[in-house]
Structure 1
Amino acid sequence: MHAIRLHAFGPAENLTLEKTEDPEPGPGQVRIAVAAAGVHLLDAALREGAQGPAPRPTALPTVPGREVAGTVDSVGEGVTGDWLGKRVVAHLGFAPGGYAELAVTDADRLHEIPENLDFAQAVAMIGTGRTTLGILQFADLGPASVAVIPAAAGGIGTFLVQYAKHAGATVIGLAGGPEKVALVRANGADLAVDYKDGDWPARVREYLGARSVTVVFDGVGGAVARAAVDLLGPGGRHLVFGWAGEGLGSGTPYLVDGVSEQVLGPVMLGRAGGPNPVRTLELRALAEAAAGRLTPAVQRFPLAEAAAAHRALETRGTTGKVVLEP
């Protein structure tokens, strides 16, 4: 098979397409003929050698990527043959291997893909979608809500705009540049503004009039987060799930006592409940997409252009979920 391999930590150019041996499923595992592999900012941080929520690879070379969708083409010992030929999506957990034509994972990680989703859209739901549903556990959105969503043209931002509108909230989406602003507006935001314009908070205040922002969904941090939090009214909430604006691996979100709440990791999983909270959120995300309440936005790159996909993601040159297609 062909796969993207990383031989040394460093820039995106260290990701190279190579011919390598086909993986074989072990007991309890299946092999997936990959049709789409998700690309995440965490992948880029791990590529650089950063230590994040997922442990960086201890042995190089490695095949990055932890989100895949495709067709089951082989099963290991103890796995029913009913899986063969099925369209599936899976998050590989901390085990990499997704940037490839073939990937192996445990059968209990599989989900069948709803008929109305293609492979790339399914990948968007299994990672980005599940995170979005986890974040939304902390926001009681309704017609009285006024939500500010920085990075509203990104993967999570796209879902947050859709979900908030479906709940009847007033949605203010922030994005960088006119093209992204147009996408946010087309996705349903009541007001879409360019956060690169220094007067964007004044535009929001003018639009809202006597109303105040009730919740800020913040995956960006930095100056944008500070300005967004200043728009919150009494009792408003700042839900923090990242700080991309401060640089990968910075670990320094903007927080305000009594207002800000970090909602990733154990906090999110504890709220999800069930014997397997991660799977609970995955099932919720796929159900939302199957019902048409969430529609994934996907930006596709050929597998061979994984380095270009990483560069685009790191420089905020992407919209929606970034996916590699072999």
Structure 2
Amino acid sequence: MHVAQVTSWGQPPVYTTAPDAPPAGPGQLRLKVVAAAVHRLVQGRATGKHFSATTLPLDPSSDGVGLDEATGNLYYISTFAAPTFADYAVVDRARAIPVPEGADPITVAALCNPVMSSWMALRTRTWDLPAGFSVLIIGATGTSGRAAVAVARAFGAGKVIGVARNEAALKGIAGLDGYVAQKDPPETSDFASIGHVDVVLDYVYGKVTAALLAALKPERQTQYVQIGTVGSEETMALPAQVLRAKMLRMTGSAPGSWTTAELMKEMPDIVKTAAEMERPADVFTKPLSEVEALWGSEDAKRKRMVLIP
């Protein structure tokens, strides 16, 4: 069968052949992969810098949607359940989540990971949030940030604020109660106007995060959850005084900070939520066979590419 694998860290996956996927064993499904998205997580794995990427050759995929050819049913192949840059995937039934009938597999493939990122952060990495809690999303204009707006509402948020560089894009995000456009340098942004928020979901990190935390004015505990580093800043210079002088609880969310069992408990609701969303305008599809040529393109960097084997 055809697969796409990284053979050298930092290089695009190579479209090649591999032995056919074996028949499904007890408690397994053999699924024809119909869609696999190139999430930020997938891009990070291809560089070798993500903690889940350890050996070469590597299929950098993280999840996907597969078809049971015997029944015609679609399943979401959950995170790291099986390589999905391939024609077929053999998946444990417990890690294959039924896709609601009539759902668009491209949308599900594109959005399950973004929805999961904020869902698991709010479910497992925050505690005792007040009714109608407030949420601030750093990186609100990205696919994951936009999904986080809807997820926060589903969890009962009464106020959602977005932070990003692109003010025009911020204005167009449905569900935001307000926004602050990030300036350059970040310290000149109007973060002080935000006042208090109960939760910060951070998809960016680095200088903008340090500036925002320094400017926040918590009236009670603010719970900060680090989720992603789309700005490619893996470190942050945060003055000790910010931690001493403010009611901040800081944590992170990703595989490792929650268990597979915790994730699988939430996956049916995550898949349902993703399936009910509209396909974002920045989602586009390409054949898996073109992955090497497309990998470093501007579209692949700025939009959400979904590969079709």
**Superposition TM-score tier, normalisation by shorter sequence:** 0.7 to 0.9
Q: CA–CA distance in 2 between the matches of 1:190 and 1:309? A: 36
Contact 2:6 2:56 in 1 (8 A): no
Amino acid aligned to 2:61 = G
Please give the per-residue CA displacement for 1:252-290, whole angstroms capped at 9, x wherever unaligned: 366664514213245434xxxxx9222112123124346
Q: CA–CA distance in 2 between the matches of 1:266 and 1:5? A: 24
Q: How many residues in Structure 1 have an aligned counterpart in Structure 2?
A: 293
Q: Normalised by the size of structure 2, how large is the TM-score?
A: 0.79
Partner of 2:114: 128
Q: CA–CA distance in 1 between the matches of 2:97 and 2:190? A: 43
Aligned match of 1:17 in 15, 18, 34? Answer: 15
Unpaired runs of 5+ residues, structure 2, are none
RMSD: 3.3
Q: CA–CA distance in 1 between the matches of 2:174 and 2:271? A: 19
Tell me whether 1:118 sits opposite 2:104 in the alignment: yes
For residues 208-227 of structure 1, the aligned pairs below 5 Å read: 211-227=195-211
Contact 1:172 1:191 in 2 (8 A): yes
Aligned match of 1:90 in 53, 77, 82? Answer: 77
Q: CA–CA distance in 2 between the matches of 1:277 and 1:199? A: 36
Q: CA–CA distance in 1 between the matches of 2:11 and 2:168? A: 27
Unpaired runs of 5+ residues, structure 1, are 74-82, 270-274
Partner of 1:174: 163
Q: CA–CA distance in 1 between the matches of 2:264 and 2:298? A: 26
Contact 2:138 2:162 in 1 (8 A): yes
Q: CA deviation at 1:225?
A: 0.7
Q: CA–CA distance in 1 between the matches of 2:207 and 2:120? A: 25
- Evaluate the alpha carbon distance shift between residue 163 and residue 114 of structure 1 in structure 2; reply closer, same or farther with a 3 A threshold: same
Partner of 1:259: 248
Tell me whether 1:68 sits opposite 2:64 in the alignment: yes
Please give the per-residue CA displacement for 1:202-241, whole angstroms capped at 9, x wherever unaligned: 54555x5xx5333211121111111221224232222222
Tell me whether 1:276 sits opposite 2:276 in the alignment: no
- Evaluate the alpha carbon distance shift between residue 92 and residue 263 of structure 1 in structure 2; reply closer, same or farther with a 3 A threshold: closer
Partner of 1:106: 92
Q: Secondary structure at the match of 2:103?
A: coil
Please give the per-residue CA displacement for 1:275-316, whole angstroms capped at 9, x wherever unaligned: 9222112123124346x4x65636123123434665368995
Tell me whether 1:241 sits opposite 2:224 in the alignment: no
Q: CA–CA distance in 2 between the matches of 1:194 and 1:306? A: 34
Q: CA deviation at 1:37?
A: 0.4
Please give the per-residue CA displacement for 1:136-179, whole angstroms capped at 9, x wherever unaligned: 12163643x33221111223312221233453522221223355
Q: CA–CA distance in 1 between the matches of 2:307 and 2:218? A: 41
- Evaluate the alpha carbon distance shift between residue 16 and residue 55 of structure 1 in structure 2; reply closer, same or farther with a 3 A threshold: closer
Q: Secondary structure at the match of 1:213?
A: coil
Q: Secondary structure at the match of 1:311?
A: coil
Greater mean alpha carbon deviation, residues 166-175 or residues 153-162? 166-175
Greater mean alpha carbon deviation, residues 127-136 or residues 300-309? 300-309
Partner of 1:48: 47
- Evaluate the alpha carbon distance shift between residue 132 and residue 307 of structure 1 in structure 2; reply closer, same or farther with a 3 A threshold: farther
Q: CA deviation at 1:195?
A: 1.9
Q: Secondary structure at the match of 1:121?
A: helix
Q: CA deviation at 1:51?
A: 4.9
Give the % identical residues.
23
Tell me whether 1:300 sits opposite 2:287 in the alignment: no
Q: CA deviation at 1:120?
A: 2.1
Partner of 1:160: 148
- Evaluate the alpha carbon distance shift between residue 72 and residue 168 of structure 1 in structure 2; reply closer, same or farther with a 3 A threshold: same
Amino acid aligned to 1:18 = T
Contact 2:186 2:211 in 1 (8 A): no
Q: CA deviation at 1:188?
A: 1.9
Amino acid aligned to 1:324 = L
Please give the per-residue CA displacement for 1:62-104, whole angstroms capped at 9, x wherever unaligned: 433121102113xxxxxxxxx6321111125265x21123222
Q: CA–CA distance in 2 between the matches of 1:295 and 1:9? A: 34
Amino acid aligned to 2:23 = P
Tell me whether 1:186 sits opposite 2:176 in the alignment: no
